[in-house]
Structure 1
Amino acid sequence: MTTGEKLNWKGRRLDVHVGPVAHGGHCVARHEGRVLFVRHALPGEHVTAEVTEDKGGSYCRADAVEILSASPDRVQPPCPLSGPGACGGCDWQHASGEAQRRLKAAVVSEHLSKATNRDIDVTVEELTGGLLGWRTRVRMAVGYDRLPGFHPHRSHGVIPVGHCPITVPGLVESVAGQEFAKDSEIELVRDGSGRIHARQVRLVRGYRGRMRWERTPIAGDGGAVEFAAGRHWEMAAFNFWQVHPAAADTFAAAVGEWTQASPGSCAWDLYSGVGLFASVLAAQVGPAGRVVAVEQAGQSSVDSARLLADLPQVTSVARKVELALRDGSLDGPDPEVVVLDPPRKGAGHEVVDTIAARRPTRVVYVACDPAALGRDVARFMLRGYRLDQVRAFDAFPMTHHVEAVALLSRGD
């Protein structure tokens, strides 16, 4: 390679020994001083990896296209579309369920250990229902052939799909083979009563050429019911809700075990959705207490106010969390406990700093991204908090995603 020439291994096949798991559904290998993030491999394997993406830096991406020496954790994927160049929805179909949970535990442990500068032992707990047939909410892409399917990993292409083994039976099949508008998406939900709701979502040009989202119902009446924390949640079908049938109840119980809000105290539920955790906090603070539930998504906040109307101690605030913390929406008594369930990017420095300034005794953080959780835990520690406990749950079997619940306590 001449000076200034950009390194590009794309398309090359390299025999490599696979090292530890990394966040994102791949493992780390090394070749000629560079890092390869290899999908479809497992730690300890010897594989032939084909480079799929190379931007010329210190690392590139690759797929394991031949297994020269297999891990004892390797199994036959249950889906024929799982593998290099195929559907990108699942990361670990080639690993046993026990191995998947160990891999996820290693990722959560790594990020929390970096954040705290101490060893954090993590066990990923299995939810009921097994590895297949659990996903109740899914978004499908529509390709140029007008058929719904899923994207390959890091690709805008669409692979038509008639059946998906990780989704609940009948969900993907309800739209399979039908034609829809090109470049649209199909959102599918099977609610707690077993009803299927579907809609097409696409960007269209509207008044004065402005682009807007158009949502066209396909199936269902748009009103879903879910069951968790001892309550019925009758809400808009496409509100945020956990995709695993056992997740909402499991997380509500885990959060409630650690919040322990005192009767008559104040508690916050930030990024509250329709108010699942707010309902748990309301039972703890009682009629003399106060729970403030903050949610940006308009319909979720509206549904929250209606669904928790029987709990007058709950106030639903339809605001972005950052704005609510700035503009006085959360004025009043300081919270004894705060529950955080932010989106994948995490809460961020501003939110963490503002919460810490109000000095809650405990913060219970529900996270769907280990890296974001690690960053926010480190920030809380700078503001005088310590990480006391963590639990992790395999709420997304066959994928690299994992849900974690962390308990942070004020250090003084």
Structure 2
Amino acid sequence: MSRHVRARKAKGASKVGERFEAVVGPVAHGGHCIVRLPEPEARVVFVRHAIPGERVVVEITEGTEGDRFWRGDAVEVLEASPDRVEPPCPHAGPDLCGGCDFQHVSLQRQRDLKAAVVREQLARLAKIDVPVAVEQVAGDEDGLRWRTRVQYAQGPRGQRAMRKHRSREAVPVDDCLIARHDAREVHPPGSTLDRTAATATSVVHERVTTRLDGSHGFAVEADGFWQVHPGAPRVLVETVLAFLQPQAGEKVMDLYSGVGLFARFLAEAVGQQGRVVAIEGDRLATGHARTNLADFPRTKIECGAVADVLASSYDEPFDLVVLDPPREGARRQVVEQIVDRAPRAVAYVACDPAALARDVGIFAEHGYTLERLRAFDLFPMTHHVECVALLTRVGAGTR
């Protein structure tokens, strides 16, 4: 199998292309399972396209004799799991499109595997053991047709394509099955696809429907951040509000606030006597947030890096915080500045369980405990999972 991975210094002879028969171990964070090869290899191999408990033939795709671990694909299944299914997409599998990790796994087992990863990360990094169940969210078709935006590469003949896993090599894809039929397409800037794309507009409008008060339109940049699962905005807003229980007159911070999805509903909940401060680093998103929250003049929208704004402004107590950082998480500097404002509760929206677990551990150092956790299957067929965690100050509780 051909691979074009980031250059690094070789540590001995390459093992790429060698095959080993092995029993698959537990799932690991990142869309693969762990295989432990016995002597004389004695290596951990992170294997894609496998299911725990299966007996497979593993082909090494990355690794040299001196590496601590290797990467590989399950290219032949000798003893299949009862949860193995035929991938619905012909482009899913070893050495094909790298977009989906779990098309070979039944939907319920996919969710169980994701739950196991979340629980393992919390146990290892935050030293807490909590039950985790990954919930289905309305808006997909048996795990397919849920992406409202799709970013394509350009194939060798100018056609739509996807990248292989950890590779720049493109695989032509005529129909991405996790994309909705009306999905907005994003293409490489300057490519033939980009120049001919009918969707190359600068601003689009999404709609989020909540159980609270009907529909609300949100202005979003065409290539800006917005949850790609159609059921995501509603379930995340409702979970955050249910966890925090914001009260009239309270002061709230919305960090990494994007175009103001959470801030808009928080502002409504705390009312005219309350206050919402939304902080976002992207200037275009901040501009859209001002439009989206025009009906809430008491909401302050700040453009700047969250850590920098918190270090220089709003050094006062806040009742509640919504924390929705990018994949790398909030990290210690931001967490400790949140703690310094002594909120009674923090709702942490996380797309990476390892970053969530690390930050939960930092909160714990400062007297905040993980009180509730929900996990949502907003990215079926992939290893990604979205979590919402409620952190409360010991002795404070929620109302």
Q: Same fold (TM over 0.5)?
A: yes
The residue number in structure 2 matching 1:353 is 336
The residue number in structure 2 matching 1:296 is 281
Show the 5 A alignment for 1:251-330: 251-328=236-313, 330=314
SS at match of 1:249: helix
Show the 5 A alignment for 1:47-62: 47-55=56-64, 56-62=66-72
SS at match of 2:152: strand
Distance 1:6 1:146, change over 3 A: same
Once residues 151 and 291 of structure 1 are traced to their aligned partners in structure 2, the CA distance between those partners, rounded to angstroms, is 41
Does the 8 Å contact 1:200/1:216 carry over to 2?
no
Shift of 1:147: 2.7
Shift of 1:202: 5.1
The residue number in structure 1 matching 2:7 is none
Which stretch shifts more, 225-234 or 31-40?
225-234
Shift of 1:400: 0.3
The residue number in structure 2 matching 1:334 is 317
SS at match of 1:395: coil
Out of 9, 15, 22, which is 1:9 matched to?
A: 15
Once residues 390 and 31 of structure 2 are traced to their aligned partners in structure 1, the CA distance between those partners, rounded to angstroms, is 26
Distance 1:216 1:353, change over 3 A: farther
User: What CA deviation, in whole Å up to 9, does each residue of 1:18-41 have, x standing for no partner?
Assistant: 011000100011112211111000
Q: Which amino acid aligns with 2:26?
A: P
Show the 5 A alignment for 1:113-132: 113-128=123-138, 129=140, 130-132=142-144
Show the 5 A alignment for 1:165-176: 165-171=177-183
Once residues 77 and 144 of structure 1 are traced to their aligned partners in structure 2, the CA distance between those partners, rounded to angstroms, is 25
In the alignment of these two chains, the number of paired residues is 372
Once residues 55 and 359 of structure 2 are traced to their aligned partners in structure 1, the CA distance between those partners, rounded to angstroms, is 36
Shift of 1:264: 1.1
User: What CA deviation, in whole Å up to 9, does each residue of 1:52-103 have, x standing for no partner?
Assistant: 0004322100100000000000000001111100000000000000000000
Once residues 196 and 322 of structure 2 are traced to their aligned partners in structure 1, the CA distance between those partners, rounded to angstroms, is 34
The residue number in structure 2 matching 1:227 is 207
Once residues 250 and 289 of structure 2 are traced to their aligned partners in structure 1, the CA distance between those partners, rounded to angstroms, is 21
Show the 5 A alignment for 1:92-171: 92-128=102-138, 129=140, 130-171=142-183
Matched, 1:218 2:228: no
Shift of 1:138: 1.5
The residue number in structure 2 matching 1:209 is none
The residue number in structure 2 matching 1:406 is 389
Shift of 1:308: 0.4
Does the 8 Å contact 1:200/1:218 carry over to 2?
no
Shift of 1:252: 0.4
Distance 1:142 1:57, change over 3 A: same
Once residues 26 and 115 of structure 1 are traced to their aligned partners in structure 2, the CA distance between those partners, rounded to angstroms, is 19
The residue number in structure 2 matching 1:201 is 189
Shift of 1:222: 3.1
Shift of 1:143: 4.1
User: What CA deviation, in whole Å up to 9, does each residue of 1:304-346 have, x standing for no partner?
Assistant: 0111010122111111111111222x24x41111001000011
Q: TM-score, normalised by structure 1?
A: 0.86
Shift of 1:146: 2.9
CA RMSD of aligned residues (A): 1.8
Once residues 308 and 101 of structure 1 are traced to their aligned partners in structure 2, the CA distance between those partners, rounded to angstroms, is 35
The residue number in structure 1 matching 2:361 is 378
Q: TM-score, normalised by structure 2?
A: 0.89
Distance 1:390 1:48, change over 3 A: same
User: What CA deviation, in whole Å up to 9, does each residue of 1:350-402 have, x standing for no partner?
Assistant: 10111111111111100000111111111111121111111000000000000
Does the 8 Å contact 1:150/1:159 carry over to 2?
yes
Matched, 1:24 2:30: yes
Does the 8 Å contact 1:88/1:152 carry over to 2?
yes
SS at match of 1:272: coil
SS at match of 1:9: coil
The residue number in structure 1 matching 2:88 is 78
The residue number in structure 2 matching 1:184 is none
User: What CA deviation, in whole Å up to 9, does each residue of 1:107-143 have, x standing for no partner?
Assistant: 0011112234232110000011231111111211124
Does the 8 Å contact 1:47/1:68 carry over to 2?
yes
Out of 36, 57, 64, which is 2:74 matched to?
A: 64
Structure 1 unaligned spans of 5+: 172-187, 190-197, 204-214
Does the 8 Å contact 1:19/1:44 carry over to 2?
yes
SS at match of 2:88: coil
Shift of 1:217: 7.8
Does the 8 Å contact 1:287/1:312 carry over to 2?
no
Distance 1:217 1:279, change over 3 A: farther
Does the 8 Å contact 1:11/1:51 carry over to 2?
yes
Shift of 1:283: 1.9
Show the 5 A alignment for 1:181-196: 188-189=184-185
Once residues 115 and 63 of structure 1 are traced to their aligned partners in structure 2, the CA distance between those partners, rounded to angstroms, is 27
Distance 1:118 1:7, change over 3 A: farther
Query: Percentage identity across aligned positions?
Result: 46
Does the 8 Å contact 1:21/1:27 carry over to 2?
yes
Q: Which amino acid aligns with 1:391?
A: R
